[in-house]
Amino acid sequence: MSALRAVTLDAVGTLFAPAEPVGATYGRVAARHGIALPAADLDTRFRAAFASAPPLAFGNIEPAERVRRERAWWRALVCETFGPAGDHPGFDACFGALFAHYGHADAWRVFPEVAGTLTRLRAHGLRLGVVSNFDGRLPGVLVGLGLARLLDAILLSTVVGVAKPAGGIFRAAAAALAAPPDDMLHAGDDVQADVAGALAAGLRAVLVDRAGWRPVLPRGASAITTLAEIEAFLG
């Protein structure tokens, strides 16, 4: 097996996470707009809505249209999360506040080992990129979290036009990092989107299983419980 030349990483759940549970944030912001919903219910409904949502990718479209569709995608998801309260007169203002909130770094927390791990990977001469099913807010969030300076490329599903696990976004990462797929390793927290998708595109793959769930993995994949363990794959 050839030596690694590049490492790609998922963003949310791998490098950073919401600063507090989504339901708590949604419930607090909703209350400010006259919408009373239990945080626990919102958290459960958000997870279900997110899992059933269509891919956050729209093909090759103009930037302004992409921004409009990104916002519309999230509005539909939040509306589904709120259920009947999506018809509340204060919903649009509430959604606008939530959309803006998650575009700021203070809505997120970086996992403790991430910055040090990325710094050491770069010291080994590896090129690093983020491959994420996220929207145009992500680059600003990465800057605010102090991670963008450690990255050579940021691949967004809404910009590339395809979302993980589709191979196109991994091939775009290979081109951006000037490395053949078989000399790349992808790390992420989703078995299908990250692990199976990367393997199918010809990359090596590792699951970041922070909760220690130990799910069944595709053949050829490994699991780690903290990103720092990725250094064991450098050899």
Parts of the chain belonging to CATH 1.10.150.720: 20-106
Q: What is 6-17+107-233's CATH topology?
A: Rossmann fold (3.40.50)
Q: What is the dihedral of CA 11, 15, 18, 21, to 10 degrees?
A: 110
Pick the CATH number of 20-106 from 1.10.150.720, 3.40.50.150, 1.10.240.10, 1.10.357.20: 1.10.150.720
On average, the pLDDT of the chain sits at 97
pTM over cut 0.85:
yes
User: Tokens at residue 187, please?
Assistant: 């790390």
Strand ranges for 59-165 from DSSP E: 108-110, 127-132, 153-156
- pLDDT value, residue 158: 97
Whole-number percent of the chain with pLDDT over 90:
97
Q: Which residue's structure tokens are 């922070």?
A: 210
Q: Which residue's structure tokens are 């590339």?
A: 160
